[in-house]
């Protein structure tokens, strides 16, 4: 029996992954597994540029609007969920499409078995952060896990807090759980990276931001305002909108900031993906070239 294949389509935000993935999935008669960590939330279709109802009808999708922002979800949970779906259909190929680096890496290479944090510890650590600030938490991390303290971005409160959560819950260092060992997979992986000339990519990002405003992201953010403390809303798009709703910025300033932060995130994605030697890069407009490359490897 021919080995199952997972076709990965990724690249920076705004590059054109959604439509290309749909056309490839239709051509290859395969379902799409969404790999955007925010498009899984049903309440955020505008701010995440999730596939539209019409697009969802064209091809079977997994993990689009499948969870609520109030659900706890992680890359390790996503890994297990996707592996379960692939294992249940061993004779079918799948197309994994999205730009969430950790989600894609979790499925292709595996992720360290980090314990799920208990709600009471998560709440306590967030409360401490709000009351004490980040510096005391960094000092505590230096004492509890000096090895991770040396390498962590100490301005990134989420990473500092998560490491402390592990330390408090398990009594062990966060470092002790970080093996970074690549796991064997029962399927082959084809990785396709999409990119455009920088000027064109930035123009698409800027225009998509304006389209989100027209589509109603402000109203969407108002609906989500009461959940702004949740990790699901700690992302580009909603952070800027919450500042606007708080009266800290004008609409023009918010749009400029959202465009700028999205472009910055796109650069971060490209830096991450370009380290992957398995990735084959294409312009998403070259659909025939991409299809020929993929089908040659599936033959």
Range of the domain at 74: 5-112+181-298
C-alpha distances in Å from residue 234, one per residue of 174, 224, 238, 240 = 22, 11, 7, 10
Max CA distance (Å), the chain = 61
User: 187 and 99 in one domain?
Assistant: yes
Query: Residues 104, 247: one domain?
Result: yes
Q: State yes or no: pLDDT of 42 exceeds 70.
A: yes
- From 157, 177, 197, the end of a domain falls on 177
pLDDT in tens, 57-73: 999 999 999 999 999 88
Cα separation of 263 and 205, whole Å? 7
135 has a pLDDT exceeding 90: yes
The domain boundary, picked from 152, 177, 202, lies at: 177
- Band (pLDDT 50/70/90 cuts) for residue 1 is low
- Say whether both 156 and 222 belong to one domain: no
For 254-293, the pLDDT digits (tens) are 999 999 999 999 999 999 999 999 999 999 999 999 999 9
Q: Which residue has better confidence, 155 or 297? A: 297
- 35 lies in the same domain as 137: no
What is the domain-level CATH number for residue 84?
Answer: 3.40.50.300
Task: Report, in this order, helix, strand and coil percent for the chain, each rounded to 5.
Answer: 55, 10, 35
pLDDT-derived band at 76 (thresholds 50, 70, 90) equals: confident
């Amino acid at each position: 029996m021919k080995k199952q294949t997972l076709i990965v389509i990724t690249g920076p935000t705004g590059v054109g992954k959604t439509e290309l993935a749909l056309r490839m999935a239709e051509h290859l008669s395969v379902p799409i597994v969404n790999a955007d960590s925010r498009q899984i939330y049903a309440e955020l279709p505008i701010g995440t540029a999730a596939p539209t109802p019409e697009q969802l009808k064209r091809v079977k999708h997994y993990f689009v609007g499948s969870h609520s922002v109030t659900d706890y979800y992680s890359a390790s949970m996503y890994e297990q969920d996707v592996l379960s779906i692939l294992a249940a259909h061993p004779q079918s190929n799948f197309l994994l499409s999205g730009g969430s680096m950790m989600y894609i890496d979790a499925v292709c290479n595996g992720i360290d078995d980090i314990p799920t944090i208990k709600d009471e510890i998560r709440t306590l650590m967030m409360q401490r952060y709000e009351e004490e600030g980040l510096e005391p938490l960094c000092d505590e991390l230096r004492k509890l896990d000096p090895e991770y303290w040396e390498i962590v971005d100490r301005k990134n409160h989420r990473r500092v807090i998560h490491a402390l959560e592990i330390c408090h819950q398990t009594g062990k260092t966060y470092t002790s759980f970080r093996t970074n060992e690549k796991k064997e997979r029962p399927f082959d992986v084809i990785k396709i990276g999409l990119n455009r000339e920088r000027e064109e990519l930035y123009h698409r990002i800027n225009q998509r931001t304006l389209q989100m405003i027209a589509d109603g992201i402000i109203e969407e953010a108002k609906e989500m305002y009461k959940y702004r403390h949740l990790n699901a809303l700690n992302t580009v798009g909603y952070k800027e909108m919450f500042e606007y709703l708080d009266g800290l910025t004008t609409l023009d300033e918010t749009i400029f900031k959202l465009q700028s932060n999205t472009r910055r995130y796109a650069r971060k994605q490209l830096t991450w993906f370009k380290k992957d030697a398995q990735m084959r890069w294409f312009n998403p407009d070259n659909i025939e070239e991409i299809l020929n490359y993929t089908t040659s490897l599936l033959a």
